[in-house]
Amino acid sequence: MRFVWAVAAFVLAAVMIGAGIAQRTVFQGPKSETSDLSVSEEAPYLLIDGAVLNRLPGAQTLRAQGEGDIFAAYGRTADLKAWLADATYNEVSLGDDGEIVSDAVAPATADDDSTADATATPTPTPTPTAGAAADAAVTPGRSPIGSDLWLDEFQQEDLLIAPLQLPAEMSVLVATDGTEPAPTDVSVSWPTVSATPWAGPLIVFGGILMAIGVFLYILGIRHARRSRGPRRKGLPLPVTEPIDLAVEGADKGVISATPPTRRSVTTGKRAFAIVPAIAVSALMFAGCSADSWPQMAASPTPSPTETVIVPEGQQAPAVTKSQAERIIARIASTAADADEAMDPTLAASRLDGAVLAERATNYKLRGAIADYAALAAIPTKPLEIVLPQAYDGWPRSVMAVVNDEEDKTASIMLLTQEDAWSPYKLAYLSSLEAATQMPDLAPVYVGAQQVPPDSSFLVMAPDQLAAAYADVINKGEDSEFYSQFEAEGDQFRVSIAADRESRLAEFNTTAASTGSLSFSSMPGEHPPLALATLESGAIVAVNVNEVDTVKPTNADAVIKLDGNPTVKTLAGAEQSATGFTTTFSDQLFFYVPGLGSTEKIRLLGYGSEILDAKVIN
């Protein structure tokens, strides 16, 4: 009977294990679902809307096939459509019935209402006429490679496979080089949920039954061996006589009285047979994943704690942190190439405002003076703070702080982007004051509002800040604005005062009787840029110019520049009977509190470089 139960256990175990394995293999079904994205006509770009990418739950895998290099990038849908505003492209989206549809989109015309919205993008190029079609066909299109709008981009040859996990508000752009047609063999796939909740229990219980069957089989063998041998009837035993051990032992030897038992032979074999069965069951149990078991209750999902409340109606931040890192690295690389070649045109492709003006002056001086030093390289990492403007339109701005702990230096910078097709440019760059305490800023995923130059919600409007601080530099405590600025920790004012005092003392020892040296500060020509902080204040970047003026006080005297090759090179003269002016450009970052605050305006960072020198007319 033990053998019967053992065979039954084996059969049932085989059925259960086979059924469990079949659920995970032949009966499981496809592991992904794929949708082919077809287009009706060729175009240089293909835009895949975020709704299509999120038609099914889970991560997305983009597959595009064609000849040559294939490019794909993703970003905010509004950004991609702004970048494509002047181009012909195909858009793949979801129809009203939830089906994937493809539409050809033509460039918007100048009087199209869609271009007059809050994005404030430049007017796109009108659709070319039929007569100009031949010329347009040979005109190179705009390459999408390397745009600062993309959150990430991919480029592969002939076949591009890109794993994605994008929300509905982001889309994907597929192209080649912006001139040739975009690939038409494009598909998106999603992993399908193929849970087999009974596969695990079937395999595990089948393994247990198999172990029970093995155990019953061993018991059956043991029972059969014990019952093996002849069955004799009882017979009268002969009368035994004592054995003379002295005689018998000499002839026959000693006989052992403890024969080996069967138990000592079979015990080890039984244990060896049971262990493999249990091991097989354990291996099958380990191979079952979470979706191979019934889910008795839903797993609790932790609720995120919101630390910063996004203002109602606030738009999306201009960049992410990784995007800002990539943009700053590109700016630094281009600036390094321009510094090496002393090429202001190349520098202008990534620099703007006071930063570009100072570097152009440096190139001029380095070209004329052999040992003149180049400006410091633009820092790139580690990027500690990123504060993007929360704005869907243009122009946009981003503030960043790079803190190099190894060199014990920190820099604050402000980037701007003029329109959807322009790269970000570095407009302001300064070194942070030692032990600078930054105000509370919104996280990068929230962003900040840009403060208008004439804002009345700050203790001082951004467009008045440069003039007020210049007046404090000129007059010190006699300035009407002196009490509005925090003097403690402002090393820039201290260094300016010390430099002016030492230079004036040196000048008076040699030329006081024939000339005069004076100093003045005034607002620079570059407009202020401001981003709001969490305390209703703002970080404001301004440009201030310091002008040194040296004039002769004697009609017969002239000002010579024998020991000043810098001014001589910029002014283009070695001496002048009217004198010279030398201008230094200051890039300053301030924290300006909100209206009603008792705090003072604090200087956060500063930088100063020579800008120009001229002969006084």
pLDDT at 288: 54
- Work out the widest C-alpha separation in the chain, in whole angstroms: 164
pLDDT at 260: 47
Q: For the chain, what percent of residues have pLDDT higher than 70?
A: 79
pLDDT at 294: 57
Residues 512, 510: Cα–Cα separation, whole Å: 6
Can you tell me the mean pLDDT for 371-398? 95
Task: Dump pLDDT digits (tens) for 268-284.
Answer: 444 444 445 444 444 44
Query: What is the pTM for the complete model shown?
Result: 0.78
Look at strands 89-94 and 383-388 and give their pairing. Answer: unpaired
Residues 20, 65: Cα–Cα separation, whole Å: 38
Residues 84, 43: Cα–Cα separation, whole Å: 12
Positive or negative, the CA dihedral 344, 546, 529, 405 is positive
Can you tell me the mean pLDDT for 595-600? 94
Res 435 pLDDT > 60:
yes
The answer to whether the beta carbons of residues 466 and 524 sit under 8 Å apart is: yes
Res 427 pLDDT > 90:
yes
* Cis bond before residue 300 (omega within 30° of 0): no
Domain ranges of the chain: 32-191, 321-615
Res 502 pLDDT > 50:
yes
CA dihedral 496, 499, 502, 507 (to 10 degrees): -100
Res 247 pLDDT > 80:
no
Task: Dump pLDDT digits (tens) for 170-210.
Answer: 999 999 999 999 998 999 998 876 666 666 777 787 788 78
Task: Dump pLDDT digits (tens) for 330-347.
Answer: 999 999 999 999 999 999
Can you tell me the mean pLDDT for 367-380? 94
How much is the mean pLDDT over the chain?
83
The answer to whether the beta carbons of residues 105 and 88 sit under 8 Å apart is: yes
Q: For the chain, what percent of residues have pLDDT higher than 90?
A: 59
Task: Dump pLDDT digits (tens) for 455-477.
Answer: 999 999 999 999 999 999 999 99
Q: Which residues of 541-550 are buried (b: 16+ CB within 10 A; e: fewer)?
A: bbbbbbbbeb
pLDDT at 263: 44
Task: Dump pLDDT digits (tens) for 70-107.
Answer: 999 999 999 999 999 999 999 999 988 888 999 999 98
